[in-house]
């Protein structure tokens, strides 16, 4: 398996955004020297306690200048919230700046606050994502392109610059539901799933639905068709790990519950059971529950055991490690955990 880093960039009231960004770039640069393969910041809006990362491509451009080999992934671009021409331009520019290292993770988005802030009807999210993705791929691959859709139109346009990678940067689709996972499978698009949203038993269902749909649509098997994002932290002892990450887990739980409660209340009836389950998991989240059901915050040996189990159950081609789950772990402790992972976990899984 390949290993990447995830960056949410939560920013508490007593944290400074400048310091959070500088630490993130430093961690990415250190990750390359430790043997990590990629980095994956989010797109999130309008809530600094959850994230101050509204523009992942800008952060990745800064990381590109400090690295030479790291793949630069978006986790994710929320396609319904932006014009696809702008997305196509930004990702192509990042691919040029980095010499062809971009991985384009995309998704519908699911936070009602985001859709309200951008004035986009949430009920249109799936159709907008599907149409935007078709537009973007056409813009990347044709010298001149036109497009006629329900939401977006183009008439004989030329994208400048064009991406370095051919036919275009790899596209991966984030899925938090069986429906989206099956849709990605039918399209033959690689998948991103997250264990902090859906615990491992649910992920097994999503990945199975994805691979069945992919096979039924006639797409060949791919060794890196599934990317798994999961909370992860490694320390010398369990007591030391809990001291480092316990407050951060509690912070994440508070933020997640505050976001999920109005989200679940305003969601369409069909979506409410799934969102209510996410809300209940957020309310009850502890260091122990994360370690048992959705990640590994433990010693190197425990991490090796869990990742071997993940490899057998889900067979992901890549694991994106979320070392600062909740955002309160000090930079030095994050780097130390990355070093332990690289020296005592990576060689064994």
pLDDT 10s digits, 184-221: 999 999 999 999 989 999 999 999 999 999 999 999 98
Domain map of the chain by residue range?
2-75+175-244+293-348
Helices marked H in the chain — which ranges?
17-34, 56-64, 84-98, 112-118, 125-141, 178-187, 200-216, 238-266, 272-284, 287-293, 300-314, 331-344
State how far the Cα of 22 lies from the Cα of 111, in Å rounded to an integer. 27
CATH topology assigned to domain 2-75+175-244+293-348: TIM Barrel (3.20.20)
Sorting pLDDT into bands at 50, 70 and 90, what band is 95?
very high
Which residues share a beta bridge with 154?
147
Residue 272, pLDDT > 80, answer no
**pLDDT over 90, % of the chain:** 87
pLDDT confidence of residue 258: 84
Residue 276, pLDDT > 80, answer no
Cis bond upstream, residue 341 (ω within 30): no
In terms of DSSP bridges, do strands 153-157 and 145-148 run parallel, antiparallel, or are they unpaired?
antiparallel
pLDDT confidence of residue 262: 75
User: 26-35, 109-118, 305-314 — which is least confidently predicted?
Assistant: 109-118
In terms of DSSP bridges, do strands 296-298 and 226-234 run parallel, antiparallel, or are they unpaired?
parallel
User: 82-86, 247-251, 263-267, 322-326 — which is least confidently predicted?
Assistant: 263-267
Structure-block tokens of residue 31? 């990750």
Is the pTM value of this prediction over 0.85?
yes
Residue 265, pLDDT > 90, answer no
Structure-block tokens of residue 184? 């990605």
User: 25-39, 55-69, 105-119, 154-168 — which is least confidently predicted?
Assistant: 105-119
**DSSP character at residue 166:** S
pLDDT confidence of residue 112: 87
pLDDT confidence of residue 343: 98
pLDDT confidence of residue 346: 98
Work out the mean pLDDT of the chain and round it to a whole number.
95
Q: What is the pLDDT of residues 310-320, one digit of tens each?
A: 999 999 999 99
Structure-block tokens of residue 270? 């069909």
DSSP string for residues in 68-87: SS-EEE-S-EEGGGS-HHHH
Residue 126, pLDDT > 90, answer yes
Sorting pLDDT into bands at 50, 70 and 90, what band is 261?
confident
Structure-block tokens of residue 269? 């009836």
CA separation, residue 107 to residues 32, 94, 188, 330 (Å): 26, 19, 15, 30
Rounded to 10 deg, the angle between the 17-34 and 56-64 helix axes is 50
Read off the pLDDT of each residue in 252-281 and give the average, rounded to a whole number.
Answer: 77
Sorting pLDDT into bands at 50, 70 and 90, what band is 256?
confident
Read off the pLDDT of each residue in 252-269 and give the average, rounded to a whole number.
Answer: 79
């Amino acid at each position: 398996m390949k290993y990447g880093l995830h960056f949410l960039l939560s920013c508490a009231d007593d944290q400074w955004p400048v310091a959070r960004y500088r630490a993130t770039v430093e961690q990415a640069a250190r990750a390359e020297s430790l043997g990590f393969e990629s980095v994956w910041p989010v797109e999130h809006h309008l809530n600094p306690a959850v994230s101050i990362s509204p523009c992942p491509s800008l952060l990745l451009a800064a990381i590109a200048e400090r690295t030479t080999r790291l793949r630069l992934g978006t986790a994710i671009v929320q396609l319904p919230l932006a014009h696809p021409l702008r997305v196509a331009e930004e990702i192509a520019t990042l691919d040029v700046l980095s010499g062809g290292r971009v991985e384009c993770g995309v998704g519908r988005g699911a936070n009602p606050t985001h859709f309200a802030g951008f004035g986009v009807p949430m009920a249109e999210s799936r159709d907008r994502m599907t149409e935007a993705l078709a537009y973007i791929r056409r813009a990347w691959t044709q010298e001149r392109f036109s497009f006629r859709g329900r939401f977006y139109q183009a008439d004989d346009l030329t994208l400048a610059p064009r991406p370095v990678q051919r036919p275009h940067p790899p596209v991966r689709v984030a899925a938090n539901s069986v429906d989206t996972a099956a849709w990605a499978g039918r399209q033959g698009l690689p998948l991103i799933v997250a264990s902090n949203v859906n615990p491992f038993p649910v992920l097994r269902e999503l990945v199975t639905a994805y691979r069945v749909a992919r096979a039924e649509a006639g797409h060949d098997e791919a060794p890196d068709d599934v990317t798994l994002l999961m909370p992860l932290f490694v320390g010398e002892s369990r007591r030391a790990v809990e001291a480092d990450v316990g407050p951060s887990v509690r912070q994440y739980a508070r933020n997640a519950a505050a976001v999920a409660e109005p989200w679940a209340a305003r969601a369409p009836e069909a979506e409410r059971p799934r969102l209510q389950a996410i809300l209940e998991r957020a309310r009850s989240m502890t260091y122990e529950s994360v370690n048992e059901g959705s990640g590994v915050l433990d010693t190197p040996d425990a991490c090796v055991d869990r990742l071997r189990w993940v490899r057998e159950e889900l067979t992901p081609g890549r694991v994106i490690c979320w070392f600062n789950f909740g955002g309160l772990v000090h930079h030095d402790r994050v780097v130390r955990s990355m070093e332990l992972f690289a020296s005592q976990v990576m060689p064994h899984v």
